[in-house]
Structure 1
Amino acid sequence: MSVETICSTLEKLERMHKSLLELALKKTEIIKIGDIEALDQMLKDEQAHVAAIDKLEQQRQQQVTDYLVANGFAATDKMTVADVIEAAKQPADKEVLSAVRQRLLQLIQALKQQNDLNQKLVFQSLQVVNLTLGAFRPQQESINYSDKEVKGTNTIAKKSYFDSQA
């Protein structure tokens, strides 16, 4: 396993994350206009991207593990690109890996921020919908099931029918 193979996979991950970020930006606009059908399609597109990213991430993990084991490191569950950067023998390999890793980390951070914004927008939209529904919903009178007496048309106090039958 070579550093070039790992770099290639990282660059593919970078492209997929850029594409996912573009979808997240488009999703923000869709949420703002409230187009449910477009939002549904956007979610399907995002799921396809996430599945592809997951597959590439598994490849990256395997490549990193193979590289480190081939260079005499003990295999662990979480071997990272940072470990490969430390283990790389060529300074050029270290620089390339560091650059790609840094770009990918920046993309992931931007994607997190955009997803947080989208989540807040969706939450606010739901609040508006609930508020609107609440305004149109008739207010129900509270029903009192206590032992209070109910006054009828005559002057004698009566128990309510419900209370007397219970």
Structure 2
Amino acid sequence: MELTPLLELLERLDEVHLQMLELAALKKQSIMDNQVDSLIDLLNRESRLVKLIGQLEEQRAEAAYAFLQGVGIRSNLNLNLTELSRLVFDPEDKARLLHIQQKLSGTLYRLKEANELNQKLIEQSLTFIDYSLDLLVGRPNQEITYHHPSDKGSSVTRPGIFDARG
């Protein structure tokens, strides 16, 4: 059975994931530079690549199924690449399959790490924004009820950015 269509799809998946990795690096810079418009553009580009990955994944599953049928397996097994490689007897094809598996696995790992870093950067940005807002307008748990000026309650109040006293 011909393994080439599956190998070509795996190569294409690796290429698209490498493009996602490039976008992740650009997103990191946009987040650090607080470039919201650039970030939105990158997210749109990333969305298009995610759709393409979904299509390639469907084609990969079909190619894997076709390969299984070619080697005499009639059920629609969902085998990973290592399991699939055990059914490849041509040493050159097996080596190519294991090579692309290792390559794709490395790309996916790097992409996962880049996305986790970007998530942490976004969380830090949001924490900083929240902290900045607290400094500007007071704490959110600060009481918003009227207190007579002579009432020296135990709560310490901090004026917000707007002071109505002239």
- Shared fold per TM-score greater than 0.5: yes
Normalising by structure 2, we get a TM-score of 0.81
CA displacement at 1:2 relative to structure 2: 1.7
Report the CA distance between 1:47 and its aligned residue.
0.5
**Alpha-carbon separation, structure 1, partners of 2:82 and 2:91:** 14
Asked which structure has the greater RCO (Cα within 8 Å, sep 6+), the reply is 2
Indicate the SS of the match to 2:110. Answer: helix
Q: Deviations over 1:117-165 (max 9, x none)?
A: 0000000000000000111114543649xxxxx9xxxxxxxxxxxxxxx
Residues 10 and 100 of structure 1 are in contact (CA less than 8 Å); yes or no, is this contact kept in structure 2?
yes
| Matching of residues 108-127 of structure 1 within 5 Å | 108-127=108-127
Identity %: 29
Report the alpha carbon displacement of residue 70 of structure 1 after superposing the two structures with TM.
2.1
Q: What whole-Å deviation, never above 9, does each CA across 1:42-95 have from its counterpart, x for those lacking one?
A: 100100011101110110011101111221224245233223211012011000
- In the alignment, the residues of structure 2 paired with residue 95 and residue 141 of structure 1 have an alpha-carbon distance, to the nearest angstrom, of 68
Mapped contact 1:28–1:118 kept (Cα < 8 A): yes
Q: Tell me, in whole angstroms, the C-alpha distance in 2 between the residues paired with 1:17 and 1:102.
A: 14
1:106 and 2:97 matched: no
User: Which residue number in structure 1 is paired with residue 45 of structure 2?
Assistant: 45
- Counterparts of 2:9 and 2:143 in 1: how far apart (Å)? 64
What do residues 15-63 of structure 1 show as CA deviations (whole Å, max 9, x unaligned)?
1011110000111001000011111111001000111011101100111
Worse overlay, 28-37 or 73-82: 73-82
Asked if 2 retains the 8 angstrom alpha-carbon contact of 1:30 and 1:39, the reply is yes
SS at match of 2:86: helix
Between stretches 20-29 and 63-72, larger displacement belongs to 63-72
Q: Over the residues paired in the alignment, what is the CA RMSD in angstroms?
A: 2.0
Alpha-carbon distance in structure 1 between the residues aligned to 2:130 and 2:68: 54
Q: How does 1:58-73 map to 2 (within 5 A)?
A: 58-73=58-73
Count how many residue pairs are aligned between Structure 1 and Structure 2.
146
Distance in 2 between residues matched to 1:90 and 1:99, nearest whole Å: 14
State the match for 1:82 in structure 2.
82
Partner of residue 141, structure 1: 143
8 Å CA contact retained: 1:16, 1:49: yes
Aligned to 1:153: none
Higher-Rg member (1/2): 1
Q: Which runs of 5+ in 1 are unaligned?
A: 145-149, 151-166
Partner AA of 2:112 in structure 1 = K
Pick which of 79-88 and 135-144 moved more.
135-144
